[in-house]
Structure 1
Amino acid sequence: MSKICLLPDHLVNQIAAGEVVERPASALKELMENSLDAGAASISVDLAEGGSKLIRVSDDGSGIDRAELALALSRHATSKIASLEDLHKVRTLGFRGEGLASIASVSQLSLSSRAEGSEQAWRVEADNGLIHEAEPAALARGTTVEVRDLYFNVPARRKFLKTAATEYAHCEDVFKRVALSRPDLALTLTHNGKVQWRLKSESPSERMRAVLGNEFADSMLQIEQAAGGLRLAGFAGSPTLSRAGRDAQFVFVNGRFVRDKVVLHAVRQAYQDVLHLDRQPLYVLFIELDPEAVDVNVHPTKTEVRFRESQAVHRFLFHSLNRALAETRAGSLAPNGDSPADDVVPGSLGTFSYPKPSFEQMRMPLAVNEGAPADFYGTLFGGLREAARAQDALASTEVADRPVPTYVLPAAPQTSRALPAGEDDFPPLGFALAQLHGVYVLAQARDGLIVVDMHAAHERVVYERLKTALDAAEMPTQPLLIPLAFPADRLDVATVEEHADTLRQIGFEMAVLGPNQLAVRAIPMLLRDADAIELARSLLADIRTVGASRMLTEKRDQLLASMACHGAVRANRSLTLPEMNALLREMEATERSGQCNHGRPTWFRLSMNELDKLFMRGQ
């Protein structure tokens, strides 16, 4: 066995580089974080061959004195901490004192800097870990770090690098993180001599649009919450705007990009009620708390943190996001990104105010609201009849044996009121016009056409009512005049006998008529139109599979979502115009009504501009 001996410093640096500098993107992250800590207002990044040939980061920060240039490339040298107490309340991004030394040990590195107040810039070079003497350089201000031929002296590590395109993609991701975290920074990214990104100092919302695109910026929800020393700010994407991967999820803790399990779980829980299947939400969130309440020194790459009070952080994030997502009422933000009105803010819905329904209202079936003035429909259908008669007259002048289309139009309602006087007379989702194929409700809004999936929309309305009633322990029930008996197996009978109290708690009353027969005596009032027997069988199967206690706690929302699906209006059911308008008004008053229980959008808007483009009007 070999004798124990100290490793050479150069080998120690190369071993550390294996942890800190996984790929060019890791080196870029260290260099850009140093620029941020130096107080830079602008940063320029130049890459070649995905960063494997060249990484150059230039900033206009405070710079480094000549006497400290060589020291900056030494191991465990830093200006950011000096004691254990400083380590417990780290406020800077780079603090370990290993980044530059590790990069220099596996590359040809040049460090040029001009400190504030200095008349001369200086440069030091490191080749294979050997640091040369400082020499004069030409630099107006700030610092420039140039890294060439990464891993040129560690062939075994270099062969694990991917293609230039792949490595560039990772570098670009690092650049985007910095861009999102600091909208006030001016940033430029060049690859192989071509400018890929040029961002000016701008507002947070403008930076979101520049980096994540118009679709995210048009539908994002702004968040601003604070409680108990915690602050959450940022932007959450609309639930209808989701992706298969997590490439658009950004969380910053005290300005540091992190991937933390506690944060990811809290966000996922907040979205689970409105997200479709295994889709991933988009968000950019900034969490601020006392630096002593979070440990950022738990991983060499500093992308993982440990919260001192992780449960408190989880609860705060969940409730803050859940509250913001609850305001996604239909009409507050259009699923395609168009706001119904410039003066509409989340929760206000313009000039219309819709309080939550009371329990007395919840005990009643879906209320009928006349909604649109009757003359509105009379004018609409009258115009269609005139168009049909003109088409028939035109067809009659053509070849006699040519088939003439027949138009069957709905009867117009009796007219008694005039059209809406102006745009302010329209509620956010407008007034119903017609039903399409028994599935969609068409409505005229202030500026365009609203299309509503009636089953998905009503499902969300019923679901939110069920949640409110169960939370208040006031689930309204509807006794059946004649109990509905149905055959059941012995497991279903046993479930009713064992969990009668649980069933009553969620609005069901069931009785055992025999060893293989059950009867439904009462169901939740909100589900009065559902198939009671089918609903009962589904409920008993869920309780038997999951257990009554879990069904009312962690699986509660799944249970209520299933019940709501049974109680919602089905496709191909004909609705009258007052019923359609009643559904629209309910959507405007219901939290999260922009999505159904499965995360699918419940409505869509086509603006007049979009319709004009489809028909090439004005072109």
Structure 2
Amino acid sequence: MADIINLLPDNIANQIAAGEVIQRPASAVKELLENAVDAGATEIQLILRDAGKELVQVIDNGSGMTETDARMCFERHATSKINTIDDLFAIRTMGFRGEALASIAAVSQVELKTRRADSEVGTFIEIDNSVVKKQEPCQAQVGTSIAMKNLFFNVPARRNFLKSNAAEMRHIVDEFIRVAMSFPELQFSLNNNGQELFHLEKGSLKQRIVAILGQHYNAKLVSVKETTDYMNLNGFVGKPETAKKTRGDQFFFVNNRFIKSPYLHHAVMNAFAEMIPSDSYPLYVLFIEVDPAHVDINVHPTKQEIKFDDEKVMYAFVQSAIRHALAQFSVMPAPDFDLDPGIQQLDAIQQPFTPEDQALSVGSSIYKSFTQANQAHVIDKGSNSNLKNWKDLYEGPRPSSGSSSQHSFPSMPASEPRHMPSATASVIDERWQEVGTAQRVPMQVHQQYILSHIKSGFILIDQQAAHERILYERYNRALSEAPMATQQSLFPQTLHLLPADAVLISEMLADLHALGYDRSLSAIIPSSCGAPRPIFKPGTNRQASKG
């Protein structure tokens, strides 16, 4: 009987491994940027075409590679960061498995130029589907330039699963921001189709946060810094007013490596408890420094999920550090008092408190029992005590008999009960029950829901959800049938967008035009922090339809 188990060829094995490491262009961007950081680069450029599908190129001024290293780096499990088994428990570099470049070369066409500072010439290597097509000396700058072209050209099924350019570009921007946020001391730039989206100069962590997330965060960041023998925590959290309904401004870094940790995110949410709504997410950029021996980062192909040897300690430390920072900077929730307007109409507030009334109040036994020392617990049991007249504080004035002891306080009539809408006082009021079925009309409950009669009972409609659905149907008809009627606006509105949002907007201009907005995207202008700030102009068209 013939044997049926065979070893896979290297090119097939590399393509299978690439399926775990390189899922989309953003995966390659992450690996190449991390390699540039590990090479000791201080300036890193990312160049893209067609949202990374046609080209992903990373240029750095790092240490570069020798001719032998340039060839070996494309072999599977070839790395300069692991020599012994103990090195796995002391990893401080971004990459260590030696799978990234081998996986990239298995599903794309790669060109590499590299030169060390002590070499007169560099090395050029061209690889196609894991096969070295060319290797020769070349003239190159100190550092490394690696270009990945035509991703998944040899795996059409994988390429067909890629999303639109806008969606893929958003993933790339997310990976770029995570690496750039990890190393504010390095200079980063991102160029897409000849347009520079990011230019981040070297600076402090706060400057990098403001440059990426926006200038409006400059005065709304709270510094977090705690140091212990077990771990260190530093970074920034946003003030409660910066919380958003959507995720996106949450960053956790462990030893400068971006991670996703729902467990630690829950600790941050608990620290902000009662300061922000339960469905909002605070801004935070937090760096945890811990001994690598206490962390296992080799649990996921993308290295974004890690394990701590004692997660409870990490949870408690993060939560307490954020609470301490918020208390230190006097960031506390503001009290929300719901004052009944009827209180303002009471005689005690509207009528003046005359000097005679003040003298009588000071002379009463009730006043003395609360103002004199050691008298608050004393109760006068004498027959002349005025405690039995405590109701006089709230009842109307009695006829005065000329005696100061029988003087009554100014009248304080009880306030009228607060007026509450009938819909909030009862789900179905009397009017609803009296009218016939055919005459029953929908009614509003709590200014949030619509209650309507149906044959089998009643239906409760969420106003907000219903309104969104109506708008969705209207916009959907505008996209599929005839565009909405528009009218020129005298003063067009201008929206300042972050680069990541501008990328999405640029891909949606045709659809926005069908919805009644003029398609115009102005040039990029630099902000004060060095980050380009695209400006999207909704233009001179505005919807003229009702609603």
Return the letter of the residue paired with 2:109: Q
Q: Distance in 1 between matches of 2:268 and 2:85?
A: 33
Measured after TM superposition, the shift of residue 245 of structure 1 is 2.0
Aligned partner of 1:428 in structure 2 is: none
SS at match of 1:132: strand
Quick one: which amino acid aligns to residue 198 of structure 1? Answer: H
Q: Aligned equivalents of 1:224 and 1:2: distance in 2?
A: 63
Give the match for residue 104 of structure 1. Answer: 105
1:69–1:134 Cα contact (<8 Å) kept: no
Q: Which residue pairs with 2:473 in the alignment? A: none
Equivalent residue number for residue 283 of structure 1: 284
- The one-letter code sitting in structure 2 at the alignment partner of 1:106 is V
- Give the distance between the partners of 1:299 and 1:217, measured in 2 at CA: 35
Long gaps (5+) in structure 2: 335-349, 355-386, 389-416, 418-547
In the alignment, which residue of structure 2 is the partner of 1:121? 122
Shift of 1:333: 12
Larger Rg: 1 or 2?
2
Aligned CA distance change for structure 1 residues 412 and 19 (closer, same or farther; 3 Å) = farther
Match of 2:166 in 1: 165
Distance (whole Å) between structure 2 residues aligned to residue 104 and residue 413 of structure 1: 88
From the superposition, tell whether residues 231 and 2 of structure 1 become closer, same or farther in structure 2 (CA, over 3 Å). Answer: same
Distance 2:24 2:307 in 1: 25
Q: 1:207 & 1:188 partners in 2: Cα distance? A: 13
User: What are the equivalent positions in structure 2 for 1:177-188 lying under 5 Å apart?
Assistant: 177-188=178-189
SS of 1:190's partner is strand
Q: How far apart in 2 are the matches of 1:135 and 1:222?
A: 51
C-alpha separation in 2, matches of 1:288 and 1:411: 64
SS in 1 for 2:219: helix
Structure 2 residue aligned with 1:61: 62
Compute the displacement of 1:215 (Å).
Answer: 2.3
Task: Determine the C-alpha separation between the residues in 2 that align with 1:100 and 1:411.
Answer: 83
Distance 1:412 1:32 in 2: 74
Per-residue CA shift, 1:342-391, capped at 9, x if unaligned? xxxxxxxxxxxxxxxxxxxxxxxxxxxxxxxxxxxxxxxxxxxxxxxxxx
- The equivalent residue for 1:35 is 36
- Amino acid across the alignment from 2:267: A
Q: Shift of residue 54 of structure 1? A: 0.3
How far apart, CA to CA, are the structure 2 residues paired with 1:2 and 1:187? 54
Deviation at 1:228, TM superposition (A): 2.9
Counterpart position of 1:241: 242
Per-residue CA deviation, residues 165-220 of structure 1 (Å, 9 max, x unaligned), is 11111111111112211111111100001111111111221111100112222201
Aligned twin of 1:321: 322
Per the alignment, residue 93 of structure 2 pairs with 92
Amino acid at match of 1:7: L
Aligned residue for 2:224, secondary structure, equals strand
Q: Does 1:44 align with 2:45?
A: yes
Deviations 1:53-93 (A, max 9, x none): 00000000011111111110010100011111001111110
Post-superposition Cα deviations, 1:492-542, rounded to whole Å, max 9, x if no partner, equal: xxxxxxxxxxxxxxxxxxxxxxxxxxxxxxxxxxxxxxx9xxxxxxxxxxx
Secondary structure of residue in 1 paired with 2:117: coil
Local SS of the residue matching 2:241: coil
1:434-513 to 2 correspondence within 5 Å?
none
SS at match of 1:187: strand
* Equivalent residue letter for 1:225: E
**Separation in 2, partners of 1:188, 1:214:** 18
- Give runs of aligned pairs for residues 188-227 of structure 1, distance below 5 A: 188-227=189-228
Check the 8 A contact 1:115/1:141 in 2, yes or no: yes
Residue 148 (structure 1) aligned with residue 149 (structure 2) = yes
User: Which position in structure 2 is the counterpart of 1:265?
Assistant: 266
Identify the residue that residue 15 of structure 2 maps to in structure 1: 14
CA–CA distance in structure 1, aligned partners of residues 194 and 3 of structure 2: 50
What CA distance in whole angstroms lies between the structure 2 residues aligned with 1:180 and 1:333?
29
The structure-2 alpha-carbon separation of the partners of 1:333 and 1:224, relative to structure 1 and needing over 3 Å to count, comes to: farther
Displacement of 1:227: 1.5
2-side partners of 1:412 and 1:144: how far apart? 83
Deviation at 1:102, TM superposition (A): 0.2
- What amino acid sits opposite 1:81 in the alignment? I
CA distance in 1: counterparts of 2:162 and 2:214, whole angstroms: 30
Instruction: Establish whether residue 311 from structure 1 lines up as the match of residue 316 from structure 2.
Output: no
> Equivalents in 2 of 1:412, 1:207: separation in Å?
59
Cα distance change, pair 315–3 in 1 and its aligned pair in 2 (3 A): same
Confirm or deny: 8 A CA contact 1:298 1:304 kept in the other structure.
yes
Instruction: Provide the rounded CA distance (Å) in 2 between the counterparts of 1:89 and 1:38.
Output: 18
Tell me, yes or no, if the aligned pair for 1:13 and 1:101 is still in contact at 8 Å. yes
How many equivalent residue pairs? 342
Within-5 A mapping of 1:514-533:
none
> Could you state the TM-score of these two structures normalised by the residue count of structure 1?
0.53
Q: 1:121 to 1:327 in 2, by over 3 A?
A: same
Task: Give 5+ residue unaligned stretches, structure 1.
Answer: 335-409, 415-480, 483-530, 532-619
Measure, in 1, the Cα distance between the counterparts of 2:295 and 2:33: 22
Distance in 1 between the 2:333 and 2:323 partners? 17
Cα offset for 1:137?
A: 2.1
Decide whether the 8 Å contact of 1:221 with 1:324 is kept in 2.
yes
Q: For residue 139 of structure 1, what is the aligned residue in structure 2?
A: 140
Q: Is the 8 A contact 1:219 1:333 kept in 2?
A: no
Q: How far did 1:273 drift?
A: 2.9
Determine the C-alpha separation between the residues in 2 that align with 1:303 and 1:109.
25
Q: What is residue 77 of structure 1 aligned with on the other side?
A: 78
SS at match of 1:197: strand
State the identity as a percent: 43
Match of 1:514 in 2: none
